[in-house]
Amino acid sequence: METLTYLEAISQGLAEEMRRDASVFLLGEDIGFYGGAFKVTKGFIEEFGKDRVLDTPLSEIAIVGVSVGSALMGMRPVAEMQFADFISNGFNQIVNSAAKLHYRLGAAVPMVIRCPSGGGVSGGPFHSQNPEGWFAHTPGLKIVCPATPEDAKGLIKASIRDDNPVLYFEHKKLYRHIKGEVPEGDYVIPLGKGRVHRSGRDLTIITYAAMVYEAEKAANELVQEGIEVEIIDLRTVLPYDKELVLESVRRCNRVIVLHEDTLTNGIGGDIAAFISQEAFESLDAPVTRIAALDTPVPFSPPLEKAFLPNAEKILAAARKLLAY
């Protein structure tokens, strides 16, 4: 094991896959000589050369289009959006081309789009969104949202090896704030498999990405009150691990579905409906959803704090649910 930041784990995973497979290449804005806006690809152009680390124009539609075409020709592109918010410029090519090509033609589309996402960094309404919900409605895509350095590396490697288009959302606030042990050597974490971040018996919190840590803060408070919270980290939100969700809900009988994206029509609504349909008789209280407010992401730090889910909001909801 070695200790890496979340950012270092992603960078290491990318480099290992590029050394392993010559068909893997990177493209995006400023990822080459500058090393990327967040320095994830720092040093890559020196090792792999400008033919495999492509600095592109500021055009997400071009980046996505090149990725789709090169994937169809047998390459494995890894595109960076720089900020996940601007993936909307390539929306049509993702949902109407990449996602449907296997269904229409039987063709593999092995491409990854890296999407630095999330708030808590005072980035404002155009650099702080969590747009995974836009794409979760689209069959043919896979959506990955890692929380830990170990998962970040194992999931980026698995995403690159997958023959389907994968949207890989990496949370900006976690880049340098989170460190953890990462196995040495080659390993992958299967897409679609969640994990138990914390075991409990009284309440399940189902979440992913940065909200895993807000849930953990709340759980640490509740354990002082004799309440044991189980935290399920989905890792992959399309497809998500339905068996793991049901196992936890049937054991703990109360559930909070938590995500950083806005509430209305968020991924949490689908998970809540699934639980109500498949595990209704195991529930001792209504399924509770916690998410961001239905507004654009504020730039002001105090307003952003009020906008985002946090441990305090989770605690209030958990105590209400436990008293039901």
In this structure, what DSSP letter does residue 273 have? H
Pull the structure tokens for residue 114.
């890296």
CA distance 27 to 78: 6
- Cβ(231)–Cβ(197) under 8 Å? yes
Residues recorded for the chain: 324
Q: For position 323, what pLDDT does the model report? A: 95
Which pLDDT value is given to residue 31? 97
Let me know if 197 is a catalytic residue: no
Of 127, 171, 197, 259, catalytic: 127
What kind and span of H or E run contains 10?
helix 6-20
What would the pLDDT profile of 212-256 be if each residue is shown by its tens digit? 999 999 999 999 999 999 999 999 999 999 999 999 999 999 999
Q: Which residues contact 39 (CB under 8 A, 6 or more apart)?
A: 7
Residue 246: both structure tokens together: 């049901």
**If you search the block for the tokens 């989905």, which residue do you land on?**
234
Q: What is the dihedral of CA 267, 145, 171, 204, to 10 degrees?
A: 60
For residue 203, which of 222, 224, 188, 186 has the smallest C-alpha distance?
222
Q: What is the pTM of this model?
A: 0.96
User: Which domains does the chain show, CATH number per domain?
Assistant: 2-182 (3.40.50.970), 195-322 (3.40.50.920)
Position 262 scores a pLDDT of 97
Show the low-confidence residues of the chain (pLDDT under 70): none
**Cα 194 to Cα 189: distance, rounded to the nearest angstrom:** 10
